[in-house]
Structure 1
């Protein structure tokens, strides 16, 4: 009986935690991680403040948990849809177009969660900054490895400057996000997609491996 009661309490706690984090990532994408408040979340979600504080010991704990929750969403919408594709240009293109779709569809209300909160914390120090910096490094490293895999597959020019290429692709994706969120328009995604395709054709061993248009 005691074990059943304990298991039920843990399950309810996990459900409550996921409910809080679902709302927290939405708020943070618009108002930033500093805009998160345990008390506000408790009030908005009609939860007891003591229960919320028991799940997250501090605001920093909430912020770090929110970043980790956002990573899971990011992986689900950007990385995983292309994970079964063989190494090559199509895999790289799908990652880039998937990123643009993730931002365009407002998976997070404020556009790309990580673009928003990284700007908030880029000049700060501490655990939140370090977690965000590591997350960005992981994404860039993943893209660079994807390009190198495409080189090994014979689809990208072996002389291509991989870090430079990834820098440019990332800049195009993030500019599309920034323009769209700031001006409440979506044409920037089409412009970015065209520019990304053009850049990829420039390093492709066979441009026919890429679509003619986004």
Structure 2
């Protein structure tokens, strides 16, 4: 019976943590990670401040936990769908399409979570900035990886500059996200998709 009570408390704690992180991710995507506070989240969710504090222990740990949670969402919505496609140009296209769907579908209210918090913390120092930078590096590494696979398979020209092409594709994706969020212009998604198709076509053998 004691074990059942402990398991029940753990399950409730995990459920509360998921609830809190769902809210903190949404807040941070709009107002930034500095918009988070234990008191605010507790009030908005009808939880005790002490209970939320017990989950994280500090505002910084709440911010770091929010970044980790957002990375998991990003992987599920953007990266994993591309992994279902065989390596090659098709996987590159799917990765880009998944990002555009993730942004356009407002997985987070503020558009791409990491675009929002990267602008907030890029010029700072500390653990939160490092976590944001690591997430950004992981994403660019993923884009480079799928492009490298396509080049190795001969679906892109052997002289394709992988880091350069990754930079260009990521820039197009992020510009579409920025236009949609700032200007309420969803036309950027279609423009980005066309530009990505054209850039990949130009990079294929004979392109």
TM surpasses 0.5: yes
> Structure 2 CA distance, aligned partners of 1:107 and 1:176?
15
Kept in 2, the 8 Å contact 1:87–1:146? The answer is yes
Residue 66 of structure 2: aligned partner: 66
> Structure 1 CA distance, aligned partners of 2:142 and 2:30?
26
> Structure 2 CA distance, aligned partners of 1:57 and 1:175?
36
Residue 166 of structure 1: aligned partner: 166
Pair 1:53-2:49 in alignment: no
Residue 97 of structure 1: aligned partner: 97
Q: When the two structures are aligned, how many residues end up with a matched partner?
A: 207
Structure 1 unaligned spans of 5+: 208-214
Kept in 2, the 8 Å contact 1:157–1:203? The answer is yes
Kept in 1, the 8 Å contact 2:85–2:94? The answer is no
Residue 116 of structure 1: aligned partner: 116
Structure 2 unaligned spans of 5+: none
Q: Deviations over 1:8-67 (max 9, x none)?
A: 111111100000000110000000000011111111111111111111100000000000
User: Helix, strand or coil for the counterpart of 2:170?
Assistant: helix
> Structure 1 CA distance, aligned partners of 2:98 and 2:205?
23
> Structure 2 CA distance, aligned partners of 1:98 and 1:120?
24
1:145 CA displacement: 1.3
Extract structure 1 runs of 4+ deviating beyond 6 A. Answer: none
Residue 75 of structure 2: aligned partner: 75
1:81 CA displacement: 1.0
Residue 8 of structure 2: aligned partner: 8
